[in-house]
Structure 1
Amino acid sequence: MTHQGLRDKLLRLMTEQGSVRSPQWRDAVAVTPRHEFLRGGYFRWVEGSSPTAWEPVMPDDPHWLTGCYSDVSLVTQIAGTIVPGEIRGQILRQPTSSSTFPGLVVRMLEDLEVVDGARVLEVGTGTGYSTALLCHRLGDERVTSVEVDAGVSARAAAALAQVGHAPHLVVGDGLAGHKDGAPYDRIIATCGVLTIPQEWIAQVGPGGTILATVCGWLYSSELARLTVREDGSASGHLLGGQISFMLARPHLPPPLGMLPDTGAGVERATSVGADVLDDWTARFVAQIAAPRAQRVTLDANEHLLLDVEAGTWALVYREGQAWRVRQGGPARLWDDVESLIARWREAGAPDLDRFGLTISPDGEHRYWLDTPDCPLSLDG
């Protein structure tokens, strides 16, 4: 099948799934060739590999074009510098850049709710595919895209030029936005963040929108759509769907280092077992309670929650049919998780699409259920 036939097939799929909802974005997808943004190849997961291995798929591979038009994310860089053309065989390293699956890209663009004439800042250029869709919808002159990796940005610029687009591309820290082009009507981030940067709020005019995925180091995340207010605050709902992106590089967790001696500490029974962290929404709630915590699974019945920076830890383990916790460090990490999980359960254990987020003018993040006057916080 030709690339046009594959693109048409992908567009039909995204329309049936509800990712594409408007004629403007349907037209953008119909004319934007994703394969042009993957000319450098991509990495394919080696099925059954443990630890996870990746192998390159280059344009001369008979499966390359079909892969370009599959509704999946495609890894385009590994370990911060390695691209597919540099590898022969397999590699066991962490992905650091990707082409997000098209259904999510277009869903986010629909959720951004742009109007004709809007000026958009995109944080995370990546391959440039989503940038091209924005350019088709709004015009090149109304699109600014920031990418922290100069090599990634250069490849995106070449691909965008190949398909006839020349937006304003910036190499820099996307968490700082791009002040020179402000104010924007919309900011959209294609990376996950622990918190919404104050710089983004400052660079969006009152009534404008920020669309970004809020994450944590327990690896639950959700898409938030926030409206900026006159007073420099921002507020809005989480949109649901278990959306996840690679974390912005400055927001990656610190190395775990040497694990603490968990033999000493304050021990007690707990009404909240570590198995609660297997649930996406409960894990998000735990992140609100312990935003700097990481999880280490020691075995099926023994789990460690660790805040490396604070030196705080909680060992949660099963003893028979009951769960117990042993905690150490300057704070009681599991006490906070247990308290907020209990409040969430008392509210009926709602899904994340009932959550909201308000950011005050001084940068404080407060989550809530349904309305801002129903806070979901330890002091709420």
Structure 2
Amino acid sequence: MSTPAELRAALVDQLTGDGALTDPAWRAAAAAVPRELFVPEYFLPVPGSAPTAYRPVLNGASGRLEGIYRDQTLVTQLDNHLSPPDALEPVVGAPSSSSTLPSLVLGMWQRLDVEAGHRVLEIGTGTGYSTALGAHRLGDDNLVSVEVDPQVGARAAQALKAAGYSPTLVIGDGLAGHADRAPYDRLIATCSIRHLPLPWLHQVRPGGKILTTITGWSFAFGLALLTVTGPGSASGRFLPGYVSFMVARPHDRPPRQPITLLSGDTRPSRIDPAILGDWTGKWVAQLAAPSAEIIGAGDQQILVDFATGSHARTAPNPDGGWTVTQRGPLRLWDQVESAVQTWQQHGAPHQEGFGITIDGDGQRVWIGTEAGPTWDLPI
């Protein structure tokens, strides 16, 4: 049986060979931080289960260490309270805390472009694994990490201490940042947000950078790297690839209500509804209808805005094309259709073709340049 050190070295070699780990300083951090201290037990999804069930992998279980050192995300909490030791058999729940796959964690740290001496604010301590990587690279005094869940934060603190790291740990709302140690040179968020919180934009110094994932209630995601241009303002671009994180709890959608699809106005759809199954297509739809949730698959899509009761649904026609039915004060499909057509007219770029600007007029996502097609983020 391989030792944790051997498994860790093999993972570092794998990530280096794959091109995910290129910076020698972060390679040294990955080789030094024992992930098993931060994820001693975890949940794995049960293949083929619907809704998804998760089986606990407990201390002493066969293959536990090998699972820890695979490049995979390990769920550590369900429904904001359930930990692996609380479940003796597979359970159904919504992941609420996890240890993100190492290639993504290390990739984000590398994209943040930190340098020796930089002071960094991390939003979302989680298991503490990412925090330990940052502390190893930057030194304990240069890292502040905020976690909203006291139990999750307490476990992370114990693991960090056991691993020999002592960054500043804060229990609180990460969207408020941590003003006591500001200003920061960098901010990295391991949760998704609907818009940039103003405290972040005031606590990161002008010229400093923010790396965060922007999402919405349809759970489409875009990873953005912004440079702060002044107190409360910033601009940046979305990055290539496919990154998603759990939504920051204050930004999560309201509890889903029962859906009643009533009759409404019907017309032909001018776009193929299946485009909403595309990573960026769904992202564009979410920009256009930020308060709606997108449900469905293929050419049968449903959009529901629970605040207003507005909804839209699509269906294929027997002779080709699609029909959309809309009801309520918001014409959700009109909004989505117009945005998707605009995106397609500009070449249907992946998210790396999008940018973001934040100033006194609000927070805007655009295609190409700031003069291009623009959508406001909900604030």
User: TM range, normalised to the smaller chain?
Assistant: over 0.9
Aligned twin of 2:54: 54
The one-letter code matched in structure 2 to 1:332 is: R
State the aligned residue count: 374
Counterpart for residue 115 of structure 1: 115
Q: What's 2:38 paired with?
A: 37
Structure-1 residue corresponding to 2:269: 270
By how many angstroms is 1:62 displaced? 2.0
- Structure 2 equivalent of residue 20 of structure 1: 21
Superposed CA deviations along residues 337-372 of structure 1, whole A, max 9, x for unmatched, are 11111111111111111111111235x221122322
Normalising by structure 2, what TM-score? 0.95
User: What is the letter of the counterpart of residue 15 of structure 1?
Assistant: T
Q: State how far apart, in whole Å, the 2-side matches of 1:367 and 1:338 are.
A: 17
Q: Does structure 2 conserve the Cα–Cα contact (< 8 Å) formed by 1:316 and 1:323?
A: yes
Match of 2:79 in 1: 79
Q: Which amino acid aligns with 1:248?
A: A
Shift of 1:231: 5.1
TM-score, normalising length: structure 1: 0.95
Residues 122 and 144, structure 1, Cα contact 8 Å, conserved in 2: yes
Residue aligning to 2:360? 361
Q: What's the secondary structure of 1:113's corresponding residue? A: coil
Q: 1:32, 1:79 → 2: CA distance?
A: 28
Instruction: Measure, in 1, the Cα distance between the counterparts of 2:231 and 2:205.
Output: 11
Match of 1:372 in 2: 370
Look up the match of 1:302. 300
The answer to whether the aligner puts 1:317 opposite 2:330 as a matched pair is: no
Compute the displacement of 1:259 (Å).
1.8
Give the deviation of 1:288 after TM superposition. 0.8
Is the contact between residue 12 and residue 30 of structure 2 (CA under 8 Å) also seen in structure 1? yes
Q: Contact 2:272/2:299 (CA < 8 Å) preserved in 1?
A: no
Residue 348 of structure 2: aligned partner: 349
Secondary structure of the residue aligned to 1:146 is strand
Indicate the larger mover: 231-240 or 65-74.
231-240
Q: SS of the counterpart of 2:325?
A: strand
Cα RMSD (Å) of the superposition? Answer: 1.4
More deviation, 364-373/112-121: 364-373
Partner of 1:63: 63
What SS does structure 2 have at the residue aligned with 1:209?
A: strand
Asked whether the 8 Å contact 1:366–1:375 carries over to 2, the reply is no
1:330 shift after superposition: 1.2
Gaps of 5+ in 1: none
Distance 1:346 1:302 in 2: 23
Instruction: For residue 15 of structure 1, report the CA deviation from its aligned partner.
Output: 1.1
Measure how far apart 1:333 and its partner are: 1.1
* Partner SS for 2:92: coil
2:328 alignment partner AA: G
Query: Shift of the alpha carbon at 1:159?
Result: 0.4
Whole-angstrom distance in 1 between the partners of 2:232 and 2:195: 15
Q: CA deviation at 1:260?
A: 3.5
Separation (CA, whole Å) in 2 of partners of 1:47 and 1:339: 38
Q: 2:330 matched to which residue of 1? A: 331
Contact 1:273 1:324 in 2 (8 A): no
**Runs (4+) off by over 6 Å:** none
1:8 corresponds to: 9
CA distance in 2, matches of 1:89, 1:233: 49
Tell me the CA shift for residue 114 of structure 1.
Answer: 0.5
Partner amino acid for 1:271? R
Code of the residue aligned with 2:109 in structure 1: it is L
1:300, CA displacement in angstroms? 6.0
Question: 1:231–1:361: 8 Å Cα contact kept in structure 2?
Answer: no
Give secondary structure in 2 for the equivalent of 1:224. Answer: strand
